[in-house]
Structure 1
Amino acid sequence: MSFPAHRPRRLRRTPGLRRLVAETRLHPADLVLPVFVNEDLTARRPISSLPGVHQETLSSVVDLAAEALDAGVGGIMPFAIPTVRDAVGSQATAPDGVLARTTAAIKDKVGDDLVVIPDLCLDEFTDHGHCGVLTDDGAVDNDATLERYAAMGVVLGNAGADLLGASGMMDGQIGHVRAALDEAGLKDTGLLAYAAKYSSAFYGPFREAVDSQLQGDRRTYQQNSANAVEALHEIDLDAAEGADIVMVKPGLPYLDIVAAAAERVALPVAVYQVSGEYAQIKAAAERGWIDGDAAMDEALLSMKRAGASMIATYAAVDVAQRIR
Structure 2
Amino acid sequence: MDPLSTATIFLLFCLACLVFFVTRHKSSGTEKLPPGPFPLPIIGNLLQLYTLFPSFMELIPGPHHRLPKNFCRLQQFALDEINEHKSTFDPSAPQDVIDFFFIKMKEEGQNDNTEFSFDNLITTVVDLFAAGTETTSTTLRYGLLILMKYPQVQEKMQEEIDRVVGRTRSPCMADRGQMPYTDAIVHEIQRFIALIPMSLPHAVVKDTKFREYIIPKGTTIYPTLSSVLHDSTEFPNPNGFDPHHFLNKDGTFRKSNHFMPFSAGKRLCAGEGMARMELFLFWTTILQNFTLKPLMDPKTLDITPQFSSLGNVPKPYLLCALPR
Task: Determine which structure has greater relative contact order: mean sequence separation of CA pairs < 8 Å that are 6+ residues apart, divided by chain length.
Answer: 1
Instruction: Assess same fold via TM > 0.5.
Output: no
| TM tier, smaller | under 0.3
TM-score by length of 1: 0.23
TM-score, scaled relative to structure 2: 0.23
Bigger proportion of residues as helix? 2
